[in-house]
Amino acid sequence: MRTALLVIALLPFGLMAAGAENSAIVFSFCVEDYPSSRIIESLREGHRSEVHYEFRILRRAKGLARLFGDKLIKKEETTYVARWDALDENYVVLVDESVERVFADAGSFLRFFLSVDSHRVSLPETLSDDDYLLCRWSIQPVKLVPPLTLMTLIKSDLQTISSWQRTPIERVVN
């Protein structure tokens, strides 16, 4: 599976208490070449499907600190759980267990479900040139409930996990 990652911008959006500039990055991330028919078939059979996105901002360590790895600046996760509403013939996606989105056709549903568009991550500190973004996704075409989730360790076709995608964070100056 291929994954596309696009860092759109590093945006200043206010001042921290100490007076330093606080920033955010905005980016898009999508899954390419995943057999989306597995998701549609699963939903039509009455199952739920889940895609889980992970984002990490890290700072490259220098000197002897490299022995301990890069410093984690920020970590965020987003989860989409989809289901098919047979009565209304709609695809319904629950985002992070709070926001529900409804789609009438499979194409628009899959575009939304297999991507994170213009995702904004607020940063706790200003970024340096040594910072970078890591992203990955995991897809369960049939979302299992505990204790059945242990089956994902045995049957590899129940869950697909991408490798980490790394990209530098570039500043956008207007």
8-67 tens-digit pLDDT: 444 433 323 233 345 778 888 888 888 888 899 989 988 889 999 999 988 888 877 667
Domain ranges, ordered by start, for the chain: 2-168
Please, what is the average pLDDT of the chain?
Answer: 78
Q: Which residues contact 144 (CB under 8 A, 6 or more apart)?
A: 151, 152, 158
For the chain, what percentages of helix, strand and coil (3-state, to nearest 5) are there? 20, 50, 30
pTM of the model: 0.78
